[in-house]
Structure 1
Amino acid sequence: MDESGHEHNRAEPRHYIAKTVTVFALVAALLGFGIVADFWEIDWPGKTTRPHTSAQAVQTSTRAPLPPLDVDAVAGTVNPSLVNITVSVGPLELQGAGSGIVLTGDGQVLTSHHVIKGAVDISVTDVTTGLIYDATTLGYDSTHDIALLQLQNAADLRGARLGNSDDVAVGDEIVAMGNAGGRGGMPTTSPGKTTALDATIVARNESDFSREYLTDLIEVEAAVAPGQSGGALADTTGAVIGMVTAATIPADSDTDAELPAEPPAVVPAPTEPDPDPPLPTMGYAIPINQVLDVVEQINSGRRSDEVHIGPTATLGVLVTTVDETRPDGTPVVGARIEIAMYGSPAYEAGLVRGDLISAIDGIPVESSKTLREAISARLPGVVIRLDITDETGSTRKVDVVLADGPPN
């Protein structure tokens, strides 16, 4: 993608691995949310066709011939299993919106991690009944952009019928569905076709200026829009084969704009060829088999470096990475505190702006990312010991009790 926002490296209509494009994550509107921090390489969990009994769904292991696409029929099948998600993010409680897929009748809901990232409050609306539920986060995999929610006091919800993403082929007709624009109501349908498998993207989040490097995605040519993230990618039978996560959006586009209207029946041919025709919108979805591997890991309680289970701990600081050398030649490496939030564990422990965190529980802290990962690996209520160097060069050790915070 060049500075004008155009993508010039079109996907080949075959499997590929190394192609990288820049896209926006699809959290809607009220925040201008789009995904961001550093680039990193991700190793996806291995593909599997074993049954996932935790979901109230049927996962097929062999592919039958697919019928022609009937968008209304697909919507009628999938809509009852979709929800709209509204979040309040950060201390200012700014608003964002996304989509979700019901997995179980008692209220397990699948969504994108970036939809609920930093959320202090999560509200979920059943698009069929209009019932609104409070939701908690059961677990998430931020590196693969997957989160699992639990709706409070939910019963008799309709779980999605899941397909087998290993059977998806380039050229298949699909429908991407979700809460386009964060406007609520019934999901918007975005028909199209698959254009590549195993796609690699760099997804940018305009809310916190981070980037995520995602691989093994299903690429589709369809008018996918902000707010549809966490929604369903369905095949022509109405089976969910992926979860929508990102899309290309031109640099000058309005992310709150309505989806394009249906084209007229007859479009006059231009008198001269367009020397620079617009490129189609490309959407990206996480294959459902890979999503269910993460769901299974969360439900089994198996924490890992990638999968966080349960409530998220917080220290309550904004930090920047420090990697410099003092005039005397002494290296200075760690995470420097820029803000210790009022009332946070860091604030209560006496940490202030300019303090450098160089170790946590004796393990070196080399960057803000290292600190974030170390905190994410711990639970609220845990006592950590920080090695601190203040702006005068004095060192001390500080014990801090981590608090309950929003999903990282």
Structure 2
Amino acid sequence: MVDGCAAGSGMIYRRQGNTYYVLTAHHVVRNAQDTCLIITPDGIRHEANREVTVPQADVDLAVLTFTSENDYKLARWGNSDRVAVGQTVYVAGAPVATEAVPRRTVTISDGKVIGELPQPNEGYSLIYNNNTRPGMNGEPVFNDRGGVIGVHGRGDKTGRNLAIPIATFLERPQSAIAQGGQIVESPPQIQEAANLRGDFTLPALQQQGMIKRLGQGGVRQVIPLNQGGHCKWWGKFI
């Protein structure tokens, strides 16, 4: 949960040392006058660092950071390019308190993808009919395998909601905030390669004598070219 400066939701997707990175919707924290609080699943209220990073201009996403020695699970990425109309999706966030539920509580609702905007506005293009309420903006949208496929940020009284596909976040110009998370739909060796940048090696593959170096650039996708994944690998660079 995001609180203190505004009421919103988000997801922890990366850890570097004791610094955690939280992805949310930019409009949740855009006009924040006070320090934001990140409330983790164990109920601890962490003060977010004052700096807010906007990963991509004209896209309604923001990254907050906080410091903790505790271990928190990281979001796992799904493939938003494969989302189809009629697919079941889930949203998880913490609505603002009401008379019936006087304390913000994380809730999960299911729904269906009902369309896609051909021309995204501030990055929003994925349309679905899950039940959402104020305080849930910035929450993750999951596929049925638990992979994050979008960031929720808009809804109307008709029950239609909009999310920014997670590919918009992952495919932007790479930086330190890009690294992190796992590809939930890929084997472990492929997870190691996702979201990396620079001149690097894949130790798990190098030990098997298959590859020594992928080269320079950012790896967007690595897949096995046979079913066992033991012989040939293909990498897509950006």
Aligned length: 168
**2:114 corresponds to which letter in structure 1?**
T
Identity of aligned residues (%): 26
Partner of 1:152: 67
C-alpha distance 298-226 of structure 1, shift in aligned 2 (>3 A): farther
Q: Distance in 2 between matches of 1:170 and 1:162?
A: 19
Q: Residues 99, 188 of structure 1: CA spacing in aligned structure 2 closer, same or farther, 3 A cutoff?
A: same
Q: Is the 8 A contact 2:60 2:123 kept in 1?
A: no
For 2:174, what is the secondary structure of its paired residue? Answer: helix
Equivalent residue, structure 2, for 1:173: 88
Q: Helix, strand or coil: the match of 1:114?
A: helix
Secondary structure class of the residue paired with 2:8: strand
- Matched position secondary structure for 1:103: strand
Equivalent of residue 286 in structure 1, options 159, 164, 180? 164
**Cα pair 1:114 1:142 within 8 Å, conserved:** no
Q: Which amino acid in structure 1 is aligned with residue 7 of structure 2?
A: A
CA contact (8 A) 1:241 1:287 kept: yes
Task: Give the match for residue 102 of structure 1.
Answer: 12
For the 8 Å contact 1:242–1:286, the answer to whether it is kept is: yes
Structure 2, unaligned stretches of length 5 or more?
Answer: 179-238
- Distance in 1 of aligned mates of 2:69 and 2:28: 21
Query: How big is each residue's C-alpha offset from its partner over 1:314-361, in whole Å with a ceiling of 9 and x where there is no partner?
Result: xxxxxxxxxxxxxxxxxxxxxxxxxxxxxxxxxxxxxxxxxxxxxxxx
Structure 1 spans left out of the alignment, 5+ residues: 1-83, 89-95, 202-212, 250-279, 301-408
Partners of 1:138 and 1:298 within 8 A in 2: no
Corresponding residue for residue 2 of structure 2:
85
Instruction: Provide the TM-score with structure 2 as the length reference.
Output: 0.64
SS in structure 1 at match of 2:10: strand
2:115 match: 196
Indicate the residue corresponding to 1:48 in structure 2: none
Determine if the alignment matches structure 1 residue 131 to structure 2 residue 26: no
Q: CA deviation at 1:184?
A: 5.2
Matches within 5 A, 1:322-401: none
Aligned pair 1:112/2:28, yes or no?
A: no
**1:293-332 paired onto structure 2 within 5 Å:** 293-294=171-172, 296-297=174-175, 299=177
| Letter in structure 2 aligned against 1:104 | R
Instruction: Point out which structure has higher relative CO (alpha carbons under 8 A, 6+ apart).
Output: 1
> Using the alignment, how far apart are the partners of 2:73 and 2:35 within structure 1?
24
Comparing 139-148 and 226-235, the one that deviates more? 139-148
- Secondary structure at the counterpart of residue 291 of structure 1: helix
Distance 2:173 2:67 in 1: 18
Give the match for residue 390 of structure 1.
Answer: none
Letter paired with 1:197:
E
Structure 1 residue 214 displacement after superposition? 2.9
Which runs of 4 or more aligned residues in structure 1 lie more than 6 Å from their structure 2 counterparts after TM superposition?
none
1:107–1:155 contact (8 Å) kept in structure 2: no
Which residue type is aligned with residue 47 of structure 2?
A: D
Q: Report the residue type matching 1:221 in the other structure.
A: N
CA distance in 1, matches of 2:21, 2:164: 18
TM-score normalised by the chain length of structure 1: 0.38
Distance 2:4 2:66 in 1: 14
2:21·2:177 contact (CA, 8 Å) conserved in 1?
no
- The residue number in structure 1 matching 2:190 is none
Helix, strand or coil for the counterpart of 2:109? Answer: strand
Q: Looking at CA atoms only, which structure, 1 or 2, has the larger radius of gyration? A: 1
Name the counterpart of 1:248: 156
Q: CA 1:184/1:243 → structure 2, altered by over 3 Å: closer, same or farther?
A: farther
Answer yes or no: is the 8 Å Cα contact 1:135–1:150 preserved in 2.
yes
Select which of 77, 95, 98 maps to 1:162: 77
Q: Structure 1: which amino acid aligns with 2:39?
A: T
CA distance in 1, matches of 2:127, 2:58: 18
Q: In structure 1, how many angstroms separate the alpha carbons of the residues matched to 2:140 and 2:111?
A: 13
d(CA) in 2 for partners of 1:291, 1:298: 13
